[in-house]
Chains A and B, each alone.
Chain A
Amino acid sequence: MAQAFTKAMARNIFYGGTAFFFLLFLALTFQTHSVVPERDNHEAINDVVALGKKVWEENDCIGCHTLLGEGAYFAPELGNVYKRFGSTDAIKAFIASRPRDGVPGRRSMPQFNLSDEELEAVAQFLKYVSGVNSANWPPSPQG
Chain B
Amino acid sequence: MKYQSQKVAKLYFIAAIGLFVGQILFGLIIGAQYIWGDFLFPEIPFNVARMVHTNLLIVWLLFGFMGAAYYLVPEEAETDLVMPWLATLMFWIFLAAGAATILGYLLVPYSSLAELTQNDLLPTMGREFLEQPTITKLGIVVVALAFLANIGLTILKGRKTVINLVLLMGLAGLAVFFLFSFFNPVNIVWDKYYWWWVVHLWVEGVWELILGSILAFILIKTTGVDREVIEKWLYVIIAMTLITGIVGTGHHYYWIGTPEFWQWWGSIFSAMEPIPFFMMTVFAFNMVNKRRRNHPNKAAVLWALGTAVMAFLGAGVWGFLHTLAPVNYYTHGTQITAAHGHMAFYGAYVMINLAIISYAMPLLRGREAANSNKSQVLEMWGFWLMTISIIFITLFLTAAGILQVYLQRFSDSPMPFMVVQEKIELFYVLRELTGLVFLAGLIVYIASSFVGSNEPEATAEGEVVAS
Contact = CB atoms under 8 A, between A and B. Distances in A.
Interface centre among B46, B228, B418 (most CB of A within 10 A): B46
Contacts of A75: 46, 417
A96 interface: no
B414 A142 contact: yes
B242 interface: yes
Contacts of A86: none
Contacts of B259: 31-32, 35-36, 39
Contacts of A21: 242-243, 246-247
Given A70-B192, A73-B338, A36 B249 contact: no
Contacts of B34: 74
B449 interface: no
Given A57-B127, A75-B417, A112-B111, A32 B258 contact: yes
B139 interface: no
Contacts of B456: none
Contact of B188 (A67, A69, A74): A67
A44 to B, nearest CB: 10
A80 to B, nearest CB: 11
Interface in A1-48: 5-7, 10-11, 13-14, 17-18, 21-22, 24-25, 28-29, 31-32, 35-36, 39-42, 45
Interface string B73-97: 0000000000000000000000000
A140 B334 CA distance: 13
A7 B162 CA distance: 10
A50 interface: yes
A6 B232 contact: yes
Interface in B337-360: 337-338
Contact of A63 (B119, B131, B187): B131
B90 to A, nearest CB: 28
Interface stretch (B37-45, B142-150, B377-385): B37-45
Contacts of B236: 10, 13-14
Interface in B283-341: 329-330, 332-335, 337-338
A69 B333 contact: yes
A7 B127 contact: no
Interface residues of A, number: 74
Given A45-B187, A69-B333, A105-B36, A60 B51 contact: yes
A122 to B, nearest CB: 12
A107 B42 CA distance: 10
Contacts of A24: 246-247
Given A53-B186, A63-B50, A142-B414, A72 B128 contact: yes
Q: Is the interface of B mostly helix, strand, loop or mixed?
A: helix
Interface residues of B, number: 78
Contacts of A63: 46-48, 50-51, 110, 128, 131
A42 B191 CA distance: 13
A7 B231 contact: yes
Given A57-B123, A60-B47, A18 B246 contact: yes
A10 B235 contact: yes
A25 B128 contact: no
B257 interface: yes
B337 A73 contact: yes
B48 A60 contact: yes
A92 B21 CA distance: 39
A107 B111 contact: no
Given A31-B259, A104-B38, 18 more contacts: A10-B235, A11-B235, A24-B247, A25-B249, A36-B189, A53-B186, A54-B123, A56-B126, A62-B47, A64-B45, A66-B333, A76-B416, A105-B36, A108-B41, A112-B111, A128-B188, A132-B256, A134-B256
15 contacts: A13-B235, A18-B239, A25-B249, A57-B119, A57-B127, A59-B110, A62-B47, A62-B126, A68-B333, A73-B334, A105-B37, A107-B33, A129-B188, A139-B329, A142-B416
Shortest 9 CB-CB contacts between residues of A and residues of B = A63-B47, A57-B126, A69-B333, A107-B37, A10-B235, A137-B255, A140-B414, A14-B239, A76-B417
